[in-house]
Amino acid sequence: MSGRREEGIHAAAEGNSAADAPQGRRWGRAGPGSGDSNQRPAARRPRWTLDSSVEEVLLAGSVRVEEARLNDFLCSELGGRGVAEANGNVSMGEFVLEPGKYITSCNLLHDVISLPTFRAHAFREAARALRGRGVFSLWGLSERSCRGDINFWAKRKVFAALDEAVEQEYGQRREEKRQNREEAWKGREEARKRREGKQRAKLEEERARARAIAEARAEELKQLSHFTTAIEVEDLLLAGSVRVGEAMLNDFIRSNFGPGKGVEEDRNVPMREFVRDPGEYVADPALLEGILRLPAYRLCAEARQH
């Protein structure tokens, strides 16, 4: 068939684009008196994936047809128009590859290729041919695999499905990347919150330590104030007139540990004697240790050295 003749057939097929739409997506068309807004299909997700069967794509939405000869087809579909004795042995598989070779009337040819049953034969033959070439899914589809005896209508349908499948595949990958980015961002946020939590805990620990030191210092000052109520501050601090020795050991102990504490009367010596050898006068190890830790005792010891 000449190139001009081939262009004419394809132009006729393009002119009937509604019938040539991929049959797997049969959408309703507005009928007489119906509103267009009620008939237009809503946007939907792609139906096909790269794992979809080529045969499933081609036969989806098509009417069921059986093996037939061209003349039998014309008799059953067009009442015998175009029947020619020369075409008696032409199969529909041969006819769908080069319809212009067997029907020369453009009007009749247009009517034939517009028939759903013609398209069904075209898709059926293409599915069989692709299966024979080892192409079973959209993954294996390529321009090279559709050369030769794969008709125009079948090519158009399977490549439309392939476009949908590729679009869906890329969409899924984009969504996966978006989710990965979102999960990575959440992970960084959680790590940041953990770091901030540790920093806050460390800061609270440092503050608690500072409070403990301040409370300990305040307790020391309180103990010192108890001691100074029994002994005049001047006697402890003024050089050359320190009167530490005038304070008795029991007075010192009771001013710091309460009235229930003390030593025997024969050991109740002045503080100047006690600081020389504390263990000789206080036999209770716990009481002795408590006395030695007091800031007031340290002041007494320092006053004795002066």
Residue owning tokens 């598989």: 93
pTM: 0.43
- Identify the pLDDT of residue 162: 86
Partners of 91 in beta bridges: 69
Closest listed residue to residue 296, CA positions, set 263, 241, 254: 254
Burial class (CB in 10 A: 0-12, 13-18, 19+), 76: exposed
- Identify the pLDDT of residue 8: 52
- Identify the pLDDT of residue 226: 60
Contact between residue 87 and residue 112 where contact means Cβ atoms under 8 Å apart: no
Residue ranges per structural domain of the chain: 3-23+44-165, 231-305
DSSP code for 248: B
Q: What average pLDDT values come out for the chain (306 residues) when binned by 10 residues?
A: 47 46 35 42 62 79 75 78 74 80 83 82 82 80 68 82 84 84 88 89 89 85 63 44 63 85 86 86 88 82 68
Give 280's Cβ-side CA count (13 Å radius). 8
